[in-house]
Amino acid sequence: MSSQFKDLANLYKKNLLQDVIPFWEKYSLDLEHGGYFTCLNREGKVYDTDKFIWLQNRQLWMFSLLYNQVETRENWLKISQLGADFLGKNARDAEGNWYFSLNREGKPLVQPYNIFSDCFAAMAFSEYALALRLAEGETTSGSGSESAKKIALQAYKNVLRRQENPKGQYNKAYPGTRNLKTLAVPMILANLSLEIDWLLKSDHSKAEVLSEDIDSIIDSTIQEIMGEFLDRDTGLVYENVTPEGEHLDCFAGRLINPGHTIEAMWFIMDIAQIRLKTDKETEKQGDREQQNTDNSPIVSEFSKADEDLINLAVDVILNTLEFGWDKQYDGIYYFLDIKGHPPEQLEWNQKLWWVHLETLVALLMGYRLTGREECWQWYQKVHDYTWKHFADPEYGEWWGYCDRRGEVLLNLKGGKWKGCFHLPRALYLCWQQLEMLSSKEKAVS
């Protein structure tokens, strides 16, 4: 098994570093105006030059992460800087809210009609600040890093300020008749808080930004997802619920978004495993202290609550796959109605790259943390489907959109919603999970 893990780890690593990242390095850089092209066809040719802020920030995040976690390649830092400079200069309105899109030259096209541009900005500039700190020297954080931190914190502040009404004046819901909140908000908050934890935990920043502790923000988002969005009867996560956590019988209320659910579950497992590691270290320290005084047995290494949380997340992933898997043509549906009614989304039965890739991350993480055999079985099935239908070894990078039968629907490697993010992040995370599985096995054998 260990060599299988190792082989798979190498497959993901090789695809990331020798196929996907080179594609973006080669085709996506706008050396004239700054920022990145994301609308790339199969061959990497730019077919549209608009700059979508989600994707600009996500690519900045990705290249900064590679620099921070994989290798301090000068070129990855330069590519990060190309995006960061363009974004820092053009992407915010007078109040500091992040636009949805700009034209190639950086002029605003679409207003800041939601908080997700700000979320990805906070993630991106936080990771970029780490990259600059690394480049500038660990000990004395330079002015570039400080300025990136400031941008990240301001964006995070926007998100917290606007989280109760993320769409502001663009919210079309008539107040009071039927209030719904969406999974996307606590989900992104959970992931984001973890991402910028390092930044928030510096006392200076914390005082400036937060009225409550970062750990309580994380706790309450997990509570919201697992206590309100998750339906304990079906074991499925609803995409929209009332502010009180009620599940309503209407189009939005019946919506299940399997990819979103599964991605949220690995965010939650990720938080839980970090807390477990901390617990473990604290306990070990406790043990050491204890061993000094008596010979009582070592206490449990894991906190029960976080173990339960991980197991619950795995349950939800498995339930969602059972519910969301296309038994006729394979693959995971994009949208479903919990009652089996027709969803309002015409694209409901399509197969999307990110849904399948986030599922691979979730299954490997679930398997590594729990050892549950169903995770490994599902992982193999989803792995086979995903690599067969989305990877494009002939031209590099992956297809994004397939129809129900798994046939390519759009001749693109990037567009308005697909950029340099879900695919390379998932390849990186799968590679990491598989490396850990491989070392664990080695350690055991």
The contact set with a second copy (CB under 8 A) reads: 39, 41, 47-48, 50, 99-100, 103, 107-111, 113, 169-170, 172-174, 177-178, 249-251, 339, 341-344, 346-350, 401, 403-404, 409-412, 415-416
Least Å from the CB of residue 175 to a second copy: 9
Least Å from the CB of residue 344 to a second copy: 5
Least Å from the CB of residue 178 to a second copy: 6
Least Å from the CB of residue 79 to a second copy: 25
For residues 316 and 263, give the distance between their C-alpha atoms in angstroms, rounded to a whole number: 11
In 258-360 the beta strands, taken as DSSP E runs, fall at: 336-337, 351-352
Least Å from the CB of residue 435 to a second copy: 35
Contact predicate 361/429, CB 8 Å: yes
For a second copy, the closer CB: 345 or 370: 345
CB atoms within 10 A of CB 365: 25
For a second copy, the closer CB: 27 or 266: 27
For a second copy, the closer CB: 39 or 183: 39
Least Å from the CB of residue 120 to a second copy: 18
For a second copy, the closer CB: 334 or 367: 334
221-227: which pairs have CB atoms within 8 A and are 24 or more residues apart?
Answer: 221/186, 221/187, 221/189, 221/190, 221/193, 222/190, 222/268, 222/271, 222/309, 224/186, 225/183, 225/186, 225/187, 225/190, 225/264, 225/268, 226/268, 226/309, 226/312
For a second copy, the closer CB: 72 or 103: 103
Nearest to 423 by CA among 405, 393, 398: 398
Tokens of 310: 């991980």
Residue 381 CA: distances (Å) to CA of 13, 95, 128, 402:
20, 48, 36, 17
Least Å from the CB of residue 346 to a second copy: 4
Tokens of 14: 């090789």
For a second copy, the closer CB: 349 or 359: 349
For a second copy, the closer CB: 366 or 396: 396
Query: Token pair 């994707």 is at which residue?
Result: 55
Nearest to 98 by CA among 63, 130, 125, 62: 125
Pairing verdict, β 181-182 and 240-241: antiparallel
User: Would you call 112 helix, strand, or coil by DSSP?
Assistant: coil
Least Å from the CB of residue 338 to a second copy: 12
Least Å from the CB of residue 224 to a second copy: 24
Contact predicate 67/61, CB 8 Å: no
As a three-state string, the secondary structure of 13-67 is HHHHHHHHHHHHHHHCECCCCCCECCEECCCCCEEECCEEHHHHHHHHHHHHHHH
For a second copy, the closer CB: 65 or 338: 338
For a second copy, the closer CB: 323 or 376: 323
The residue type of 47 is Y
